[in-house]
Structure 1
Amino acid sequence: MATLLIVHHTPSPNCQAMFEAVVSGATAPGIEDVRVVRRSALSATASDVLEADAYLLGTPANLGYISGALKHFLDQVYYPCLDETRGRPFGYYVHGGNDVTGAVRAVEAITTGLGWRRAADAVTVTGEPSKDDLQACWELGAVLAAGLME
């Protein structure tokens, strides 16, 4: 059974809504033989990353960058997972109050360094997520999970 690891930092109701939509998509009826593991960014480990087949990252944009929690996670797993996870699929979502540019740039740079392959378009939202934004999050989760079905 394949594993999708969702690593998130969810400090606000807006981030929580996006996270819940991603999980709903990843666990939707029709998604079979895919285990979805959810970890907060401060509790996820290199072992979690090594045991997963794909990754979905979620973060707020804080002060023009990814959250400190997600940065800490990525710093902790970078070298232990660098060679073993190269080429694995990933996706991500970012929420910001008014700008997510720096956070998007950070996720893209770090995952490029890891050699991960983006398997779906990123979902970026500023302000309160709309119904369409939450649908895009649902689709992000579904696409990543469906890509792991055998």
Structure 2
Amino acid sequence: MKHLLLIHVGESGRTARLGAAVAAGAKQSGAAIELRHLRAEQATVDDLLWADGLLLGTPEKLGYMAGLLKDFFDRTFYPAEGRTLGLPYALFVSAGNDGSGTVRAVERIATGYRWKAVAEPLIVIGEPDEAALAQCRELGEAIAAGLAAGIF
């Protein structure tokens, strides 16, 4: 069974709603995966090393990722260095602006880990509507199914 780690920032608000939708999609995929859904401040290097795939969610904060996601990266980079090469990941962003700075920042760090993006970043601008939540469910479902099928 493959392990899928979903990390997002916040327990309420927009990003939490997006994260819940991504998790629901992963669960409804029917794929043979084990999902571990954590807030960024709870996630540890052990969680990262457990993962066969990764979903990351963050709000846009002043054109950057949330500090708690950056903190996760800071806490795990050196202990995990060289141990997560090629890890497939996908990103979702709750944006107030255009989310592009947030995406660039996360992609730059993911490049340092040598992870592999397996989906285009999903940027939801403003309050998530049903269409945005459906996109999040589709993202979770696609990543879970692809991971279980060995596509990535």
Check whether TM > 0.5: yes
Q: Cα RMSD (Å) of the superposition?
A: 1.3
Identity percentage of aligned residues? 42
**Normalization by structure 1: what TM-score?**
0.93
In structure 2, relative to structure 1, the CA distance for the partners of 1:12 and 1:62 (3 Å cut) is farther
Distance 1:27 1:125 in 2: 21
Alignment-derived partner of residue 113 in structure 1: 112
8 Å Cα contact 1:123-1:133 kept in structure 2: no
Runs of at least 4 residues off by over 2 Å? 10-13
TM-score, structure 2 normalization: 0.92
Q: Where does the alignment leave 5 or more consecutive residues of structure 1 unmatched?
A: none
Which structure 2 residues correspond to residues 1-150 of structure 1 after superposition, within 5 A? 1-10=1-10, 12-31=12-31, 33-150=32-149
* Letter matched to residue 46 of structure 2: S
Instruction: Figure out how many residues of one structure are paired with residues of the other and give that number.
Output: 149
> What are the superposed Cα offsets for residues 25-63 of structure 1, whole Å, 9 maximum, x if unpaired?
0100522x2000011101100110001101000000111
**SS of residue matched to 1:66:** coil
**Match of 2:71, SS?**
helix
Tell me if structure 1 keeps the 8 A contact 2:45–2:80.
yes
Q: Secondary structure at the match of 1:72?
A: helix
Unaligned runs of 5+ in 2: none
Letter matched to residue 98 of structure 1: N
**In structure 1, what residue type is equivalent to 2:93?**
V
What is the rounded CA distance, in whole Å, between the counterparts of 2:98 and 2:108 in structure 1?
A: 18
Cα distance in 1 between the residues matched to 2:124 and 2:132: 7
Contact residue 29 and residue 141 of structure 2 kept, 8 A: no
Distance 1:147 1:104 in 2: 22
Cα contact 1:8–1:58 (8 A) shared by 2 = yes
- CA deviation map 1:40-98 (0-9, x unaligned): 10110011000110100000011111000000001111111121101010001001222
Q: Which whole-Å CA distance do the structure 2 matches of 1:116 and 1:89 have between them?
A: 6
